[in-house]
Structure formats: structure tokens, C-alpha cells
């Protein structure tokens, strides 16, 4: 039998997030696709995101869309649809560069350009930011100062796990206020054998069977009593996307693994929990 606490937690809302980028923007392919090639590649993110909007409407889920400025420039109507349907629009930067590869000046320029494009298309202020590939770490904490100066209020740019491409295993696991005035909301993890295991979505969610992901999420909610947040990408529900040649076997395995099963898993997740925006769940503010 569930305790009152467990029942209380399971009826609370969790935060649903989508990083709005296309299959050719991902960091795994940055070595084989140049930014100058992006306009020549088949653009699929618009159609895929409209499909997600339909799905969220059907399942009565609200979501935060961390959107690339590069995408918003190409489909302002999609941005309007996101906002009109009561979701939160937030920034994923302009050109999907890892913050670890940028100078403070480059970061300021990328982030302010994305904010401007998104705000123009949406007609409302953008307060949330997510760094490409969760690339905030000890080497670039100056980024918080710049986010604050640009009018952002929160960030979800850290993943406290040990991983070859990203991760800050020694950073906090739950939301915390940075001295620069930004609320940082890390991707959720569970503790196992003195390690943090990522349970926030993406590749892990595609790799593991749904029952295991659900068991870990339930464990997190019951033990930690913290809100849960989930992230995924429009290209993860697009098994027919063009295959990128020249990438490493590891990158291809990560990117293409279980794409055909992803949508079914996301639908189960939408049905098993109640979903709202980052702003509502973590800042307790409506849209």
C-alpha cells in the first residue's frame, strides 16, 4: 500500500521538456556535418515538432520547448503554435555550440541572438536556457553571469553524472540557486553503488526497457521527493530521418538506437504521469 507521501508525490506534476533541434545539429555529428551545410540538409524538425504538439494536446501535457534560434528563424509559425497552445518557449542557444567550446564573448553573442529571435517570434519574454549537450561545468561558470545579464531566470544545463561527452558528477543533483541569480535545474539522477545514474531521458530512455525507466522514476519521486523532469528531441521520434555518413560507430549507435520504439515509450510516459512546464513545476509560475 502506498503511503500518503507517495500518493501525494505521484499526483504532482513533473516537467516535460523537448530540445527543438534537427538530426544534423547534434553534437555526435559535429565532426562530419559543417554548420555551413545545415541549410542544404533535409529540414525535418518542424514537422516532427508539430506531431509532438498534437500528441501533447491529446494527452493534456504541457511542455517547455528549449528551441534553437537557428530553427526558430526558419519556422516562426511553429514558434507561434508552441506558445498559442500554452507551452513554454525557452532557449537552446542559437547554433548548438557546446559552451565548453565558446569564449564568454561567443557565448554572449549566441545566447542573445537566440533570445532575440525567439522573443520576436513568440511575442513574449524567454527566461529559460539549456546549454547544448549539458555543457556547463567548472570551466565555464562565467556563463551564469551572462545568462543573468541577458535576462534569463533559470537554466537546465547540468547533468551530474560521469559521462564521456558531458557531466558534472560532483555538482548538485537538485535545483539550486547560483550566486549570479540563476536557478539551475540539473537533469534527474538516482544513486546506485555510490554513482549517479541518469534517468532524465535521451539515450538512456531509448536504451532501457520502459518498465525499468518507470521503476527508476518512481524510486526517484518516492525517495527524493523532488520534481522529476524529462527531456527528449524531435529527431528521436523520427526513425525515417536520413542517415548521416562518416560518423563513428559509437556516435551512430547512440543516435539511431531504438528510434522506432521511442514514440511508444513517450506515450506511456505521458499517460503514467502528469506533465507541466519547467516554469510551472520549478518556479511555481504559470505561462
Task: Enumerate binding residues for Zn ion (CB under 5 A).
Answer: 19, 21, 132
Q: State which residue, 21 or 276, has the beta carbon closest to Zn ion.
A: 21
Distance CA 213, CA 268 (A): 11
**Helix or strand run (H / E) with residue 195:** strand 195-198
Residue whose C-alpha is closest to residue 96's, from 66, 127, 63, 61: 66
Question: Which residue of this chain has its Cβ atom nearest to Zn ion in the complex?
Answer: 19
Shortest distance (Å) from residue 106 CB to Zn ion: 17
Min. distance of Cβ 235 from Zn ion in angstroms?
10
Place of cell 537566440: 114
Q: Minimal distance in Å, beta carbon 161 to Zn ion?
A: 17
Residue whose CB is less far from Zn ion, 24 or 273: 24
Give residue 151's region: left, alpha or beta (phi > 0; psi -120 to 50): left
Q: Where are the alpha helices (DSSP H) in 59-139?
A: 69-74, 76-84, 104-122
- The answer to whether 131 and 143 have CB atoms below 8 angstroms apart is yes
Output the smallest distance, CB 21 to Zn ion, in A: 5
Q: 157 vs 189, which CB is nearer to Zn ion?
A: 157
Residue 232: beta bridge partners? 18
Indicate the residue among 188 and 234 with the shorter CB distance to Zn ion. 234
Would you say 184 or 236 has its CB closer to Zn ion? 236
Q: What span, in angstroms and rounded, lies between the C-alpha atoms of 248 and 31?
A: 10
Quote the least distance from Cβ 19 to Zn ion, whole Å: 4
Amino acid at each position: 500500500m502506498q503511503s500518503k507521501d507517495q500518493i501525494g508525490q505521484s499526483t504532482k506534476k513533473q516537467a516535460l521538456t523537448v530540445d527543438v533541434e534537427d538530426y544534423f545539429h547534434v553534437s555526435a555529428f559535429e565532426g562530419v556535418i559543417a554548420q555551413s551545410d545545415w541549410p542544404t540538409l533535409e529540414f525535418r524538425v518542424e514537422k516532427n515538432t508539430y506531431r509532438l504538439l498534437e500528441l501533447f494536446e491529446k494527452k493534456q501535457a504541457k511542455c517547455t520547448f528549449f528551441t534553437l534560434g537557428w530553427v526558430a528563424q526558419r519556422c516562426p509559425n511553429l514558434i507561434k503554435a508552441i506558445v498559442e497552445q500554452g507551452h513554454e518557449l525557452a532557449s537552446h542557444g542559437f547554433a548548438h555550440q557546446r559552451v565548453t567550446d565558446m569564449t564568454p564573448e561567443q557565448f554572449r553573442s549566441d545566447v542573445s541572438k537566440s533570445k532575440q529571435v525567439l522573443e520576436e517570434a513568440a511575442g513574449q519574454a524567454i527566461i529559460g536556457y539549456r546549454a547544448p549537450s549539458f555543457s556547463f561545468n567548472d570551466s565555464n561558470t562565467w556563463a551564469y553571469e551572462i545568462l543573468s545579464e541577458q535576462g534569463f531566470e533559470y537554466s537546465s544545463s547540468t547533468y551530474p553524472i560521469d559521462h564521456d561527452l558531458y557531466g558534472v558528477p560532483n555538482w548538485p543533483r537538485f535545483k539550486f540557486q547560483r550566486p549570479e541569480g540563476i536557478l539551475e535545474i540539473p537533469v534527474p539522477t538516482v544513486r546506485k553503488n555510490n554513482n549517479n545514474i541518469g534517468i532524465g531521458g535521451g539515450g538512456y530512455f531509448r536504451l532501457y526497457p520502459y518498465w525499468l525507466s518507470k521503476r527508476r522514476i518512481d524510486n526517484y519521486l518516492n525517495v527524493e521527493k523532488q520534481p522529476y523532469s524529462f527531456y527528449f528531441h524531435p529527431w528521436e521520434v523520427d526513425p525515417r530521418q536520413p542517415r548521416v555518413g562518416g560518423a563513428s560507430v559509437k556516435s551512430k549507435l547512440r543516435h539511431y538506437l531504438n528510434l522506432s520504439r521511442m514514440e511508444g515509450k513517450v506515450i506511456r510516459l505521458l499517460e503514467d504521469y502528469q506533465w507541466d512546464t519547467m516554469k510551472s513545476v520549478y518556479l511555481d509560475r504559470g505561462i
